[in-house]
Amino acid sequence: MRTVTSAAAMQRLARRWRAQATRVALVPTMGCLHAGHLSLVRRARRAVGRPGRVVVSLYVNPTQFGPREDWKKYPRDLVRDQRLCRTAGVDVVFAPGDAQMYPSVEGEAFSTWVIEEELSKEMEGRSRPGHFRGVTTVVAKLFNLVLPDVAVFGAKDYQQAAIVRRMVRDLNFPVRLILGATQRDADGLALSSRNRYLVGNLRRQALVLRQAVQQAQALVRGARFPPAAAWLRSALKRRIEQHRDARVDYIEFFHPETLQAMRQVGPGAHLALAVFVGKTRLIDNGRL
């Protein structure tokens, strides 16, 4: 396995692979890898086979964090991540620094952004202004540097995947997107690098996100008529905030492809929610 830290070196390597007609899969991550990330690596390997190449990017992208978010304390462990990637059969780890991804040239600051203006308005986009501008920009840069045939994203970040899919379509990136299923611990909590912030009782309280998704599924599938989104949202909010340290950021019901909000929630709709458990903000989602 090789580790590349230079953007120019990564692009040279990718061009060499393209000249050799070698298929390439990219798994973009912010590091602090867990079993969910490694499941995406396995999907990437299946997609390109051998002698295809699997690239995992390890980069905590500052432009997708707000001013009061956890960019500075976001967990980082490059040595551990490299070891996990090597064991998983990754060919290249791309681990650039900020100066490589957002360079200033002759004193002129980085000033070009990729912005999706429709799917990014609600949910994470409303709660975290500027977040998706950072996501789409860094993903576009990774596509240009790694030149992947395939890119694998996780379904836990459902809105993000939909936005990247729209960007690929609208900007004609020659990349096939694969969405890997959300991976969970045995108790149902969706795997996340931020789960390590959850200590003691906070970890137990965090299970309410998955429980809320399951409650919504039961209510929708058991109803004679599609329930109103406002009623369903209130029911889930009451359930979640019975826990002392849990506070709802949003609960939304929407069409799984267009992300358009629904007033009546029937089977096949999608639910996404964000909840603060203590100071840790967690997300989850599910098909109803």
Q: Which amino acid is at 79?
A: V
Containing 151, the helix (H) or strand (E) segment is: strand 150-154
Nearest alpha-carbon partner for 5 in 139, 101, 123: 101
Nearest alpha-carbon partner for 197 in 278, 139, 138, 140: 278
Task: Identify the sign of the CA torsion 20, 26, 32, 38.
Answer: negative
Nearest alpha-carbon partner for 79 in 61, 93, 90, 89: 93
Q: Is 37 a catalytic residue?
A: yes
CA separation, residue 55 to residues 2, 233, 264, 278 (Å): 10, 40, 42, 35
Task: Identify the sign of the CA torsion 8, 12, 17, 21.
Answer: positive
Containing 144, the helix (H) or strand (E) segment is: helix 131-146
* Distance of alpha carbon 72 from alpha carbon 79, whole angstroms: 18
Furthest-apart CA atoms within the chain: distance in Å = 65
The secondary structure of 86-101 as a DSSP string is HHHT-SEEE---HHHH
Helical segments of 25-69, H only = 35-48
* Distance of alpha carbon 93 from alpha carbon 3, whole angstroms: 5
- Please pick, among 37, 131, 243, 270, the residue that the annotation labels catalytic: 37
Containing 176, the helix (H) or strand (E) segment is: strand 176-180
Residue 241's DSSP bridge partners are none
Residues assigned a catalytic role = 37
